[in-house]
Amino acid sequence: MPFSPLPNQAIVESMAEQNHSTVTEFVLIGFTDHPNLGVILFLIFLSFYLITLLGNMGMVLLIRLDFHLHTPMYFFLSHLSLLDACYSSIIIPQILVTLIIGRTSVSYNSCATQFFFFTVCAGTECFLLSVMAYDRYVAISSPLLYSSAMTLGTRWGLVAGAYGGGLSGAILRTVCTFTLSFCGPNQINFFFCDLPPLLELSCSDTTTTQILILFFGNFVILANAVVILVSYLFIIRAILHIKSVGGRAKTFSTCASHLTAVMLFFGTLTFMYMCSNSNKSLEEDKVVSVFYTVVIPMLNPFIYSLRNKEVKAAFKKVINRLRVTQEM
């Protein structure tokens, strides 16, 4: 009986097909390196999330309720607070589930969806911070023309541009990332579907994808950073023309909160994405990601309200109204 290689050939083909099968789900490992800290970390992240939601949605509600806060600056701030609440809600619940279970399985489509919406929010916030810097420049350099320059239509146009920039960047990054082949290990050593760990899992050649994503991402970060830098150079020049020292301090104090938020946000983005080709470990990326997805959204309402007399006054009015309502 002649020897037939077909059975062995079929086994080899079957094994090759299994080795190159498409990944249908990812396993988020998260913080399993520290199992003893699971409960403590869960309580910490839960408290951060509740504070973030309360602070940011409270800011949105406060700006909407108080007529004195119906100005361009607070209009943009309300959108910033909304973005912070949204992208924290995209990430932190996933962290909480991972901390409880230890490892969390997410479908391929769910991972792509989380990646897309997170990227939309983060990209939009990047553009919005530059819009807010431009708003401060117009307010300080041309105070008499500020109201006519920042009309409601102009405000909505600038906000729409910020959302459009965030959306276009998210589409590009998501398409480039999830058209890659994922056929090997499906364990993501991270707590959500982010770019660096996903690229490490791909069995495709990611060189072109990384170049395209990094070029666009770096361009967006640098372009917005330049807008903010130029705006603040003009702001500083306008402040220096103010004769009284008290007037200079008061004028600059209106920008201090925004400048703090800018440095925190762009500093972490630069470390996370613009330095992605350096010798950073995923553990370092985890720490930085926690900072800009959990800590910064929680801090922003405090940054914008603690030194802001108008926000404090509006908050006191709302508290007094609630007291009067309860007493009636």
What are the tens digits of pLDDT across the range 164-218? 999 999 999 999 888 888 887 888 878 888 887 888 888 887 788 878 887 887 8
- How far apart, in Å, are the Cα atoms of 149 and each of 95, 135, 138, 161, 173? 43, 10, 8, 17, 34
One-letter identity of residue 106: V
Q: Which residues of 10-38 are buried (b: 16+ CB within 10 A; e: fewer)?
A: eeeeeeeeeeeeebeebbbbbbeeeeeeb
Q: Which residues of 63-73 are buried (b: 16+ CB within 10 A; e: fewer)?
A: beebeebebbb
What are the tens digits of pLDDT across the range 121-176? 989 999 999 999 999 999 888 888 888 899 999 999 999 999 999 999 999 999 98
What is the rounded average pLDDT for all residues in the chain?
82
Among the residue ranges 13-17, 28-32, 194-198, the one predicted with the least confidence is 13-17
State the number of CA atoms in the 13 A half-sphere of 158 facing the CB: 24
What are the tens digits of pLDDT across the range 259-314? 888 888 888 877 766 665 555 566 677 777 888 888 889 988 888 876 677 787 77
Per CATH, the architecture of 22-327 is what? Answer: Up-down Bundle (1.20)
pLDDT > 70? residue 252:
yes
228-235 long-range contacts, CB within 8 A, separation 24+? 228/129, 228/130, 228/133, 228/262, 228/266, 231/130, 231/133, 231/134, 231/136, 231/137, 232/133, 232/137, 232/259, 234/137, 234/141, 235/136, 235/137, 235/140, 235/141
As given in the structure block, the two tokens for residue 85 are: 């609440």
Where helices occur in the chain by DSSP H, the ranges are 6-19, 38-65, 72-101, 108-141, 146-149, 152-178, 195-201, 207-240, 245-269, 282-290, 296-305, 309-327
Closest of 59, 104, 109 to residue 298, by C-alpha: 59
Predicted confidence band at 33 (pLDDT cuts at 50, 70, 90)? low
Distance between CA atoms of residues 306 and 132, nearest Å: 18
Q: Which residues of 220-244 are buried (b: 16+ CB within 10 A; e: fewer)?
A: bbeebbebbeebbebbeebbeeeee
As given in the structure block, the two tokens for residue 165 are: 């920039």
pTM (two decimals): 0.84
Burial of 42 (0-12, 13-18, 19+ CB in 10 A): middle
Predicted confidence band at 83 (pLDDT cuts at 50, 70, 90)? very high
197-203 long-range contacts, CB within 8 A, separation 24+? 197/282, 197/285, 198/111, 198/115, 201/23, 201/26, 203/20
As given in the structure block, the two tokens for residue 210 are: 């990384």
Closest of 265, 253, 262 to residue 306, by C-alpha: 253
